[in-house]
Amino acid sequence: MPFCEFTDDLRVGHETIDHQHAALYEAVNRLNDALKAGRSRQEMADILGFLRSYTVDHFQAEESLMRETGYPGLEAHHALHAELVRQVLELEEKYTAGTMILSIMTMHFLKDWLTHHIQDEDRRLAAYLRTM
C-alpha cells in the first residue's frame, strides 16, 4: 500500500488540479519509497528536487487560475503556498548540505500538509472555479 494514496475523496473536481495533485502524491510516495529503501543521498536529493519544482509549478498553476478569475481568496491562499515552498526549500538545502536527515516525520508533515490543503483551500478554489 502506498504511503499516501490519492483517493477519490481528494478530488476537487477540476481536471488539471486533480491531475497535478495525483502527481504530487506520486512524488511523495517515491520519496518515501527511496527513504525506506535506504537510497543514496544523491538519489534522495534528486527526488526532493523534483518534488520541490513540481510543487512550485503546481502552486503557480493554481495562482494563475485565481488571478484569471479574480478569486477573492488569492492572497491568503498564496501565503500558504509560499510558506510551504519556503519550508521545502529549506529542507532541500539542509538535506543537500548534509546538515539534516529526512525522516518519516518529514514525510508525514508533507502528506498531512498536502491532504489538509487540498481538502480545505483547494476544494474551496475548485468550487469557486465551477461558478465561473
Task: Provide the CB-side half-sphere exposure for 114 (13 A, CA).
Answer: 31
- Write down the least CB distance from residue 107 to Fe ion, Å: 18
- What CA–CA distance (Å, rounded) separates 69 from 5? 30
Per CB under 5 A, does 18 bind Fe ion?
no
Out of 32, 92, 110, 122, name the contact with Fe ion by CB under 5 A: 122
Cβ 118 to Fe ion, closest distance in Å? 6
Query: Whole-angstrom distance between the N-terminal and C-terminal Cα of the chain?
Result: 38
d(CA 55, CA 17): 12
**Site residues for Fe ion, window 50-69 (CB under 5 A)?**
62
Q: Which stretch binds Fe ion (CB under 5 A): 2-10, 38-46, 101-109, 117-125?
A: 117-125
* Nearer residue to Fe ion within complex by CB, 56 or 100: 56
Which residue number, 62 or 92, has a Cβ lying nearer to Fe ion?
62
Q: Which is nearer to Fe ion, 92 or 122 (CB)?
A: 122
Q: Least CB distance from residue 70 to Fe ion, whole Å?
A: 17
Size of the residue set binding Fe ion (CB under 5 A):
2
* Nearest alpha-carbon partner for 42 in 50, 71, 78, 3: 50
Taking the C-alpha atoms of residue 102 and residue 3, their distance in angstroms, rounded to an integer, is 15
Q: Which residues contact 80 (CB under 8 A, 6 or more apart)?
A: 117, 121
Binding site for Fe ion (CB under 5 A): 62, 122
